[in-house]
């Protein structure tokens, strides 16, 4: 090897040492497809994901976000997740805030949830703690403020609440978990990242928010590990998937808000993205966790994945799962819930009627020992519509919309089946446009609603830790 060659080789390695090798779009697309396939394959028949106690709502909300981030807005996995999340009872501030934002993005009416969130505020400091009436903490306050802003809710105390957040910022630019911790409390990655996301969304109001945002961004960047990831554990030399995805989203939001410090951190953001691609498991998950997997996926750039058959499963995801991307077979993913009683069966139904026009239809059943008796089990009918005990569903609908309900059909010896159906009430002069793949969504909602109801019957009036 000549001296000149050695010099040139040395210069080459010095040149590439500081270069950031970004994951290619193809690598990101592949990671997204594998991650979505894992989420879909591990979704329960109810539409949720098995998660540690108290994290089911957060997992479902993040998965719904991941679906929407990939352009998935129909089909069984999406619709069942949306239906389960819409029926879930959230109690903690973070879970209800995430629930509000995900459902709002999916087009659901979340006004009642927002009212609950506002009522959970700690009045003295106009902030939110982990549960109703708890003193201010992070990320609870930042998540609540983000949910309020995203839903367009009028909130008169924005300045006071923002003051609580800004006032808790440490001199190094980060935040502790609690707003009233001693000034010596160390800055932590998770509350700091959530506060950066929230301040990015409020930057446009002025009030000097950008300077606090800049300090937060700089502190986050300073926490990056040598492998490109981020971790809450300051003693760890390695990053972790959840914190890396969270900081990645924080930097993206700050960049979208045109914050100079975030715009200067593009290389850091690229390294974080590379870390996520590199640490994905071969089965498509991150940490064998639905929550972490969904978070990683929703940190990837927004896209609309190709779905040739329109069944709500992108083509590349179907390839991973093993279904045919040219055949609308998403309905085959509907999972049984094991709740049907042997001997008597009633079919699910989808019925359409017009607002303010009389209609009548007869529900059916088979098996068991006739005669049968029908009764409404859960859900609700539009005003003016009734279900008779002979299975006649009829009336003059007084309101338009889609009504999902479950009904019980009981035979003469007491055996029964509980079934879910959907009644679609449309305005005669302004029919609701059909949504591609709605049949799959309806099937999903039916499966989820039934499983949810059965679970509620088993648990009685017990509450969840969500």
Residue 375, beta-bridge partner list: 408
**319 φ/ψ angles, rounded to the nearest 5 degrees:** -60, -40
377-434: pLDDT as tens digits: 666 788 999 999 998 999 999 988 777 676 778 888 777 666 667 777 887 654 444 4
Cis peptide before 214 (omega within 30 of 0): no
Mean pLDDT of the chain: 84
Residue 442, both tokens: 């309806």
Distance (Å, rounded) from C-alpha 280 to C-alpha 286? 5
Two structure tokens written together for 31: 């990671």
Regarding predicted confidence, which is higher, 200 or 427?
200
199: helix, strand or coil: helix
Predicted pLDDT at 339: 35
- Across 10-24, average pLDDT: 50
Gyration radius from the chain CA atoms? 25
CB 97 within 8 A of CB 117: yes
pLDDT of 281 > 50? The answer is yes
374 strand-pairing partners = 409
Q: Under a CB-based contact definition with an 8 Å cutoff, are residues 359 and 353 in contact?
A: yes
The secondary structure element, H or E, covering residue 387 is strand 385-387
pLDDT > 50? residue 260? yes
What sign does the dihedral 28-29-33-39 (CA atoms) show?
A: positive
Q: Which of 139-153, 262-276, 447-461 shows the lowest mean pLDDT across its residues?
A: 447-461
Delineate the domains of the chain, giving CATH numbers in brackets. Answer: 25-321 (1.50.10.20), 341-432 (2.60.40.10)
pLDDT per residue as tens digits for the range 306-335: 999 888 899 999 999 988 888 876 666 645
Question: If DSSP codes are grouped into helix, strand and coil, which group holds residue 191?
Answer: helix
pLDDT, tens digit (0-9, with 9 covering 90-100), for 37-46? 999 999 988 8
pLDDT at 436: 45
Distance, in Å, from the CA atom of 251 to the CA atom of 48, rounded to the nearest integer, reads 29
Instruction: Report, as an integer, the average pLDDT of 124-140.
Output: 92
Output the pLDDT for position 53: 66
Alpha helix (H) residue ranges in 230-326: 241-256, 260-263, 266-279, 290-298, 315-321
Q: Could you read off the pLDDT of 103-114 as tens digits, one per residue?
A: 999 999 999 999
Name the helix (H) or strand (E) containing 79.
Answer: helix 76-87
pLDDT digits (tens, 9 = 90+) for 321-374: 988 888 876 666 645 443 333 455 555 566 778 888 898 988 887 777 888 998
Q: How many CB atoms lie within 10 A of CB 302?
A: 10
* The model scores a pTM over 0.95: no
């Amino acid at each position: 090897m000549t001296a000149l060659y050695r010099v040139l080789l040395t210069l080459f390695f010095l040149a590439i040492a500081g270069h950031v090798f970004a994951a290619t779009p193809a690598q990101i697309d592949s990671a997204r497809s594998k991650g979505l396939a894992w989420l879909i394959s591990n979704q329960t028949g109810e539409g949720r994901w098995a998660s540690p106690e108290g994290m089911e709502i957060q997992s479902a909300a993040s998965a719904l976000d991941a679906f929407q981030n990939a352009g998935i807005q129909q089909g069984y996995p999406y619709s069942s997740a949306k239906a389960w999340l819409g029926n879930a009872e959230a109690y903690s501030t973070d879970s209800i805030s995430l629930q509000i934002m995900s459902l709002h993005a999916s087009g659901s009416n979340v006004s009642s949830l927002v009212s609950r969130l506002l009522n959970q505020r700690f009045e003295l400091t106009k902030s939110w703690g982990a549960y109703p009436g708890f003193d201010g903490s992070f990320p609870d306050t930042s998540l609540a403020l983000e949910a309020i802003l995203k839903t367009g809710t009028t909130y008169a105390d924005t300045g006071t609440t923002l003051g609580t957040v800004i006032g808790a910022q440490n001199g190094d630019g980060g935040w502790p978990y609690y707003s009233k911790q001693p000034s010596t409390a160390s800055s932590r990655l998770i509350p700091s990242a959530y506060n950066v996301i929230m301040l990015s969304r409020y930057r446009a109001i002025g009030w000097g928010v950008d300077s606090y945002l800049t300090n937060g961004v700089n502190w986050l960047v300073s926490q990056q590990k040598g492998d490109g990831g981020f971790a809450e554990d300051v003693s760890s030399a390695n990053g972790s998937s959840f914190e890396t995805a969270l900081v990645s989203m924080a930097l993206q939001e700050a960049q979208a808000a045109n914050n100079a410090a975030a715009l200067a951190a593009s290389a850091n953001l690229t390294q974080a993205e590379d870390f996520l691609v590199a640490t994905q498991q071969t089965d498509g998950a991150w940490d064998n966790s639905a929550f972490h997997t969904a978070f990683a996926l929703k940190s990837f750039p927004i896209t609309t994945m190709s779905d040739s058959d329109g069944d709500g499963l992108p083509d590349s995801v179907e390839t991973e799962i093993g279904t045919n991307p040219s055949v609308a077979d998403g309905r085959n993913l509907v999972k049984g819930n094991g709740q049907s009683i042997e001997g008597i069966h009633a079919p699910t139904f989808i019925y359409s009627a017009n607002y303010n026009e009389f209609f009548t239809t007869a529900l059916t059943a088979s098996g068991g020992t006739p005669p049968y008796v029908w009764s409404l089990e859960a859900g609700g009918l539009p005003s003016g519509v009734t279900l008779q005990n002979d299975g006649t569903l009829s009336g003059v609908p007084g309101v338009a919309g889609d009504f999902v309900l479950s009904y019980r059909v009981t035979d003469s010896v007491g055996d029964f089946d509980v079934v879910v159906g959907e009644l679609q009430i449309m305005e005669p002069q302004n029919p609701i446009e059909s949504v591609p793949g709605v049949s799959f969504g309806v099937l999903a909602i039916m499966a989820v609603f039934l499983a949810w109801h059965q679970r509620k019957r088993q648990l009685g009036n017990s509450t969840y830790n969500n």
